[in-house]
Homo-oligomer: A and B are copies of this chain.
Amino acid sequence: MAVYTEVTDEALRAFLADYDLGGLIAFRGIAEGVENSNYALRTERGDFILTLYEKRVDPAELPYFLGLMEHLAGRGLPCPTPVHGRDGAALRALCGRPAAICTFLEGVWPRRVRPEHLAPLGAALARLHAAGEGFAVVRPNALGPAGWAPLLDGCRERGNEVAPGLIAELDERLAAILAAWPAPGALPMGQIHADLFPDNVFFLADSDGRPRLSGLIDFYFACTDLLAYDVAVCLNAWCFEPDGSFNVTKARALVGAYAAIRPLSDAERAALPVLCRGAAIRFLLTRLYDWTHTPPGALVTRKDPLEYLRKLRFFAHATGAEAIGA
Contacts and interface: CB of A to CB of B under 8 A. Distances in A.
Contacts of A25: 106-107, 204
Contacts of A40: 28, 30, 40
Interface stretch (A54-62, A70-78, A279-287, A294-302): A294-302
B9 A108 contact: yes
A317 interface: no
Given A10-B112, A205-B13, A3 B31 contact: yes
Given A31-B30, A40-B28, A297-B297, A111 B205 contact: no
A187 interface: no
Contacts of A26: 104, 106-108, 202
A304 interface: no
Contact of A31 (B2, B12, B104, B204): B2
A27 interface: yes
A19 to B, nearest CB: 15
A25 B1 CA distance: 23
A13 B9 CA distance: 35
A29 to B, nearest CB: 4
Nearest to A206: B23
Most B Cβ at <10 Å: residue of A2, A13, A28, A40: A28
Given A32-B29, A296-B297, A24 B204 contact: yes
24 contacts: A6-B111, A7-B111, A8-B110, A8-B112, A9-B203, A10-B112, A23-B205, A24-B204, A25-B106, A25-B107, A26-B108, A26-B202, A27-B108, A28-B30, A28-B31, A28-B40, A29-B31, A30-B30, A30-B40, A31-B31, A295-B297, A296-B297, A297-B297, A297-B298
Nearest to A110: B9
Nearest to A296: B297
Contacts of A296: 297
Interface residues on A, range: 35 or more
Given A6-B111, A12-B108, A110-B9, A28 B32 contact: yes
A193 interface: no
Contacts of A106: 25-26, 42
Nearest to A25: B106
A2 B2 CA distance: 10
Nearest to A3: B31
Contacts of A108: 9, 12, 24, 26-27
A9 B203 CA distance: 10
A25 B215 CA distance: 12
A45 B23 CA distance: 23
Given A30-B31, A31-B31, A299-B299, 9 more contacts: A3-B31, A8-B112, A23-B205, A25-B106, A26-B106, A28-B30, A28-B31, A28-B40, A29-B30
Nearest to A299: B299
A6 B112 CA distance: 10
Interface string A193-211: 0000000001111000000
Contacts of A297: 295-298
